[in-house]
């Protein structure tokens, strides 16, 4: 059998793990700096917790876990004969791998509501799974790094999340990201103004493609979804929406003058934009993007998405938003939440492409003791124990093979110091220390050895 791993999954080499750890630690440190606390949830949930939360497409992409034991035992002949996967699945699968971290978090909040002090600020860095077809920057197993606040509907949270995005990317040395922001209420307002409130999703999904298929393409898609030409004519300003954020706010205010909800959305957006202007951002740009229509299944206010620097071709590296009623699904009403997510795997690809990983050093020993036989090895192990006590990474070459091979190993692993202890050294109780970079070699005592390698 040829060994292989499932489609869309990956193995990580020591270098890759070091790089990933560096990103995770940067994000983690920044999260904690902003006052978030970590939680973890199981990698799989009860199916009913996840199903129906991400729309029809989402349900299809959730990995279902087959029941244990004879999972067909209780299924009636009728269900098997019908061959209806949608109806059969709940009977043979009661658990599913988590699809994101937001819904499990909402479940967590409701389940532990009595132990939580609100507003509750949590972060969570764990893998999620989607039965998607892999592509560039798209995997079936990948990590999300989420920070959310529940129990506060203050817009200062949104402002703080924008600062959080900016801080993380600055700390990673990733300049030129764009934080795009929109508001669900603005989208609702627009469809209300054009009299197509029942077509919110179709309208926004089409509008979202403006970048990709252009104005005509969007109009055609809207028409094909049953939105009238008159309605489309009313939102012409959206198609050539330009200028700075304040200009955009003004034209949105004019467009949405007859919609209470729309006006509310614009004023929320204005509050955020104006305060961010006062506070300033280090490396990211904040940009109003009315075509942004992610996560409409639960976002109710702000919607965020982060685009990588323009020189890199990569989908969004982060997303988030405000959800007023996510916990409502699990029975806890009137708790507003807002949060953002970082896509670790995509950030990795972006940093790699921009060569921002140089600083990350692989863990490796500082000193390698060569092995000349059991007697010499014992002598070395005593010294190694002393070195390790002082935090100097050291190891013994496990086998007494020829020196060429042992030195070659040190060379390959880029170990800076090698200690050679043969019978002569044991007899004199000294160490021959070799600097692998200069090739220099000296005979010395253990304390001298300490001094040299500890620099």
Partner RNA sequence: GUGGUUGUAGCUCAGUUGGUUAGAGCGCUAGAUUGUGGUUCUAGAAGUCGCCGGUUCGAGCCCGGUCUUCCACCCCA
Contacts to RNA by CB under 7 A: 2, 4, 6-8, 54-55, 57-58, 61, 100, 130, 132-140, 142, 144, 205, 209, 212, 294-295, 297, 305-306, 313, 315-319, 341, 343, 345-346, 372, 402-405, 407-408, 410-412, 420, 422-425, 432, 434, 436-439, 441
**Min dist. Cβ of residue 142 to RNA (A):** 4
Query: 164-169 — which CB contacts under 8 Å span 24+ positions?
Result: 164/30, 164/31, 164/34, 164/340, 165/284, 165/304, 165/306, 165/318, 165/340, 166/281, 166/282, 166/283, 166/284, 167/30, 167/33, 167/34, 167/282, 168/26, 168/27, 168/30, 168/342, 169/283, 169/284, 169/306
Half-sphere exposure of 51 (CA within 13 A, CB side): 15
Residues ≥6 apart with Cβ < 8 Å to 194? 227, 231, 232, 234, 235
Residue with tokens 């009299």: 195
Residue with tokens 């020196």: 403
**Min dist. Cβ of residue 23 to RNA (A):** 13
What is the number of other CB atoms lying within 10 angstroms of the CB of residue 365? 19
CB nearer to RNA: give 222 or 306: 306
**Min dist. Cβ of residue 250 to RNA (A):** 29
CB nearer to RNA: give 402 or 455: 402
**Min dist. Cβ of residue 219 to RNA (A):** 14
CB nearer to RNA: give 22 or 143: 143
**Min dist. Cβ of residue 421 to RNA (A):** 7
Strand partners, 64: 96
As a whole number of angstroms, the distance between CA 99 and CA 127 comes to 9
Token pair, residue 117, equals: 């002090």
Q: Largest Cα–Cα distance in the chain?
A: 98
As a whole number of angstroms, the distance between CA 134 and CA 353 comes to 19
**Min dist. Cβ of residue 274 to RNA (A):** 26
CB nearer to RNA: give 232 or 407: 407
CB nearer to RNA: give 47 or 144: 144
CB nearer to RNA: give 130 or 184: 130
**Min dist. Cβ of residue 361 to RNA (A):** 18
CB nearer to RNA: give 113 or 297: 297
């Amino acid at each position: 059998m040829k060994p292989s791993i499932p489609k869309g999954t990956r193995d990580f080499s020591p270098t890759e793990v070091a790089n990933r750890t560096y990103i995770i630690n940067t994000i983690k440190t920044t999260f904690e700096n902003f006052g978030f606390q970590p939680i973890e949830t199981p990698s799989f949930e009860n199916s009913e917790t996840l199903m129906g939360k991400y729309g029809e497409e989402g349900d299809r992409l959730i990995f279902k876990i087959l029941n244990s034991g004879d999972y067909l035992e209780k299924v009636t002949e009728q269900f098997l004969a019908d061959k209806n996967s949608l109806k059969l699945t709940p009977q043979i699968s009661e658990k599913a791998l988590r699809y994101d971290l937001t819904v499990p978090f909402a479940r967590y909040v409701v389940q532990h509501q009595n132990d939580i002090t609100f507003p509750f600020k949590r972060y969570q860095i764990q893998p999620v799974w989607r039965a998607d077809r892999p592509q560039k920057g798209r995997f079936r197993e990948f990590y999300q790094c989420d920070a959310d606040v529940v129990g506060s509907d203050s817009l200062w949270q949104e402002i703080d999340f924008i600062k959080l995005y900016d801080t993380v990317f600055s700390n990673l040395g990733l300049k030129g990201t764009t934080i795009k922001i929109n508001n669900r209420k603005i989208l609702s307002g627009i469809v209300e103004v054009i009299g197509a409130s029942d077509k919110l999703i179709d309208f926004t999904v089409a509008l979202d493609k403006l970048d990709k298929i252009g104005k005509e393409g969007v109009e055609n898609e809207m028409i094909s979804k049953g939105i009238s030409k008159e309605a489309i004519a009313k939102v012409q300003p959206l198609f050539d929406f330009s200028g700075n954020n304040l200009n955009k706010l003004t034209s949105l205010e004019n467009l949405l003058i007859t919609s209470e909800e729309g006006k509310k959305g614009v004023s929320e957006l204005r509050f955020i934009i104006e305060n961010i202007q006062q506070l300033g951002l280090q490396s990211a740009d904040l940009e109003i993007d009315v075509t942004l229509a992610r996560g409409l299944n639960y976002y109710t206010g702000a919607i965020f998405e982060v685009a990588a620097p323009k020189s890199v071709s990569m989908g969004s590296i982060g997303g988030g938003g405000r959800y007023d009623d996510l916990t409502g699904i699990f029975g806890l009403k009137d708790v507003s939440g807002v949060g953002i997510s970082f896509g670790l795997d995509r950030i990795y690809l972006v940093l790699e492409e921009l060569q921002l990983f140089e600083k990350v050093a692989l863990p490796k020993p500082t000193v390698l003791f060569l092995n000349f036989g059991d007697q010499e090895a014992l002598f070395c192990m005593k010294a190694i124990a002393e070195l390790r006590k002082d935090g100097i990474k050291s190891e013994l070459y496990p086998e007494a093979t020829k020196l060429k091979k042992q030195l070659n190993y040190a060379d390959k692993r880029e170990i800076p110091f090698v200690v050679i202890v043969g019978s002569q050294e044991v007899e004199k109780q000294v160490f021959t220390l070799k600097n692998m970079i200069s090739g220099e070699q000296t005979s010395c005592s253990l304390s001298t050895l300490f001094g040299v390698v500890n620099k």
